[in-house]
Structure 1
Amino acid sequence: MATQAAPPVYDEDTPRGFAFALAAYLLWGFLPFYMKAVAHIPALEVVAHRVIWSVPIAAVVLLLLGRTKDIRAAFKSPRTLGMGFITAALITINWSIYVWSIAAGRAVETALGYYINPLFSIFLAAILLKESLDGRQKAAIALAVVAVGLLAFETGGLPWVSVGLALSWGFYALCKKSLPVGPNQGFFLEVLMLTPLALGYIAYVEFNGVGHFGDTGMVDVLLLLGCGVVTAVPLMIYANGAKLLRLSTIGIMQYIAPTMIFFIAVFVFKEPFGTYKLAAFVLIWIALAIYTSSLLRSRRARQAAAAAAASGIAR
């Protein structure tokens, strides 16, 4: 099978890419409000509807982009299907933890999980891909480990919401790199694979009279239908914006959503935020500042090397 060419890595940020990425992160930042609105519905049922109603949206996008051939080719490749099943399973775990945690009043832990995620991703890259870490990156990871340890000490156990979100999204992003299709096609492939399970689960709960699609009022129906919009739209906007931005810019912008979730959790949802959580977040914020400085330093080094190379060619 002919694989899709990898998207170019941009050395310059484009206004269009920035607008796309900002829109996606703002939508993700406000998502807790939507998840609170469906908090009375079991998390697995919400996730099932997120899957089902994402399919038509993703399909329309692929039709408009003229990329349906990529999906047909994917179904002829056992390797692509295998990786698709893995990424689909990981995103299901991530969505399930997220939906449950917001409904359970643990949005603060959700924010922490997404703050930890970039640090966990560079740790994975070092362990599995043998990428080298500089001193700042190692220090940032160490501070994140201390922050998780503080929360574990406070609660008497691992802060599984934060760790679960970071692990599931980190491995999802890693495996996604091995999926030989574009991000929009990959998302459609994932939700399409999950659809039989999602339909089966919804049929089961509706047959047993405990479902919320039609039996509990029009508001629930509309909210569940909207799960597809709030799931697919930000992902696809982000996928198109990321292609038009520097990797370092994306790395910095990814803090927007967890910061919004944090403020919503503390000041709107009024979740408890004691001394240990404050200390953990301070450590994470310091770690992210160190990590960001490493990103910026790497970018400046690449720019200097490119300028030197261009100067040499000009001579």
Structure 2
Amino acid sequence: MTPHRLGYLYGLTAYLLWGFFPLYFKLLRPTGPVEILAHRVIWSVAFVALLLVAMRNLGFLRALLRRPRTLAGIGGAATLIAVNWFTYIYGVNSDRVVETALGYFINPLVVVLLGVLVLRERLRPAQWAALGVGGLAVVVLTVDYGRLPYLALTLAFTFGAYSLVKKRLGLPAAEGLFVESAVLALPALVFLGWLSFTGDATFGQVSAGHTVLLVLAGALTAIPLLLFAGAANRLPLTALGMLQYVAPILQLGCGVLIFHEPMPPARVAGFALVWLALIVFTADGLRQARRSRRSRPVVTPPPAVSTAG
């Protein structure tokens, strides 16, 4: 299999797994969102630590401890991803899967907005148009819900900010996830210990299958991220940009077709505006990528050197 096809396989598998996460988190009831988050953190640390030991790649920790600014950035990234994970778990288990899907649909637009606000990037007219249509969609959905779609906005902004911090840190996927989870591990352990002390913990109390599902939270957190990293190393950014819509489409399908969440006409109109904004945004990105390829100078490769003896 060529590296390009392998990249598509990795990327598609990662987004398929993320797309069906609502089905998994529903199975964790009656565990509450904070307890699920704590188990997700603890078992992520354990799973990735075993992976790094198998890869003999724990030496990076010594160098990392000598970089306090990087450690501070990791602390910020850990906080953002914890808020993102909690919001998503809470949304799924409070029967608002459709709203969580909306968050990941608008995430690309939020990333562009953060680029303007934080990195002072300049946008092309089509990107401004996409942001305008996205803003109109939020207004329509606010009218439909009778409130701001705060779960969707929280998911979009926390993951957008997390992506920005991660880009600046430049840590590999496994190492980054390990350190971020390790930062959150102590408060997670304290919370789980408190639940056990008060008798409110569900771990080991519901069924053997439920306990196994909580333990699997670590692997199910790490595996899609590692697959995504493998795809990112093999595919152009435009290809990854197209694949990223697979997960929220599946999540929306889970919410409407499996969990039978309502989709009144006004909500459909709001989602349609979001999709229009994404079409404009994606088409502009593809057009810009083609222009960049055409403007690159053609480099003639050097003649092959024979190594035959």
Normalising by the smaller structure, the TM-score range is over 0.9
What is the CA RMSD across the aligned residues, in angstroms?
1.7
Question: For residue 122 of structure 2, what is the aligned residue in structure 1?
Answer: 132
Give the TM-score of the pair, scaled to structure 1.
0.92
- Residue 5 of structure 2 is aligned to residue 15 of structure 1: yes
In 1, the alpha carbon distance for the partners of 2:29 and 2:132 equals 35
Given that residues 17 and 240 in structure 1 are in contact (C-alpha distance below 8 angstroms), is that contact kept between their aligned partners in structure 2? yes
Per-residue deviation, residues 192-247 of structure 1 (Å, max 9, x unmatched): 11111111111111111111112233222112111112111111111122111111
> What SS class does the counterpart of residue 178 from structure 1 fall into?
helix
**Which residue in 2 is equivalent to 1:58?**
48
Q: Distance in 2 between matches of 1:13 and 1:134?
A: 32
Q: Which amino acid aligns with 2:120?
A: K
Residues 155-183 of structure 1: CA distance to partner in whole angstroms, max 9, x if unpaired?
A: 23211011010011010001111224222
- The amino acid of 1:266's aligned partner reads V
Indicate the residue corresponding to 1:84 in structure 2. 74
Tell me the amino acid that sits aligned with residue 139 of structure 1.
A
Alignment match, 2:168: 178
Moved over 4 A (4+): 311-314
| Deviation, structure 1 residue 13 | 7.3
Separation of aligned partners in 1, 2:289 and 2:214: 43
| Partner residue in 2 for 1:101 | 91
**Which residue among 27, 31, 37 is the counterpart of 1:47?**
37
Aligned-partner SS, 2:298: helix
Alignment counterpart, residue 203 of structure 2, candidates 194, 204, 213: 213
In 2, distance between residues paired with 1:313 and 1:56? 46
Contact 1:13 1:246 in 2 (8 A): no
Q: Structure 1 residue 310 and structure 2 residue 282: aligned?
A: no
Are 2:246 and 1:256 equivalent residues in the alignment?
Answer: yes
Deviation at 1:281, TM superposition (A): 0.6
Does structure 2 retain, via aligned residues, the 8 Å contact 1:213–1:221? yes
CA offset at residue 62 of structure 1?
2.3
1:14-58 CA distance string (max 9 Å, x none):
111111111100000111100111132110000000001111221
Counterpart code for 1:310: V
Preserved CA contact (<8 Å) 2:126 2:281: yes
* Conservation of the 8 A alpha-carbon contact between 2:40 and 2:221: yes
Q: CA deviation at 1:136?
A: 1.2
Determine the structure 2 residue equivalent to 1:115. Answer: 105
Q: 1:313 to 1:237 in 2, by over 3 A?
A: closer
Matched, 1:75 2:92: no
Which aligned pairs between 1:210-289 and structure 2 lie closer than 5 A? 210-289=200-279
- Extract unaligned runs of 5+ from structure 1: 1-11
SS of 1:119's partner is: helix
Stretch moving more, 153-162 or 274-283: 153-162
Q: Identity of paired residues, percent? A: 36
Contact 1:39/1:102 (8 A) holds in 2: no
Contact 1:53 1:229 in 2 (8 A): yes
Which amino acid in 2 is paired with 1:80? T
Change in 2 beyond 3 A, CA 1:198/1:269 = same
TM-score (norm 2): 0.93
Contact (CA 8 Å) 1:70, 1:181: kept in 2 or not? no
Distance of 1:83 and 1:160 partners within structure 2: 25
Show CA shifts across 1:266-301 (max 9, x none).
011100111111001100111111111011111101
Is the 2:174–2:222 contact (alpha carbons within 8 Å) kept by the matching residues of 1? no
Q: Structure 2 unaligned segments of length 5 or more: list them.
A: 303-309
Q: Cα offset for 1:312? A: 9.5
Determine if contact 1:40/1:103 at 8 Å carries over to the other structure: no
Is the CA contact (8 Å cut-off) linking 1:112 and 1:258 kept in structure 2?
A: yes
Asked if residue 149 in structure 1 is aligned to residue 144 in structure 2, the reply is: no
CA pair 212-64 structure 1, distance change in 2 beyond 3 A = same
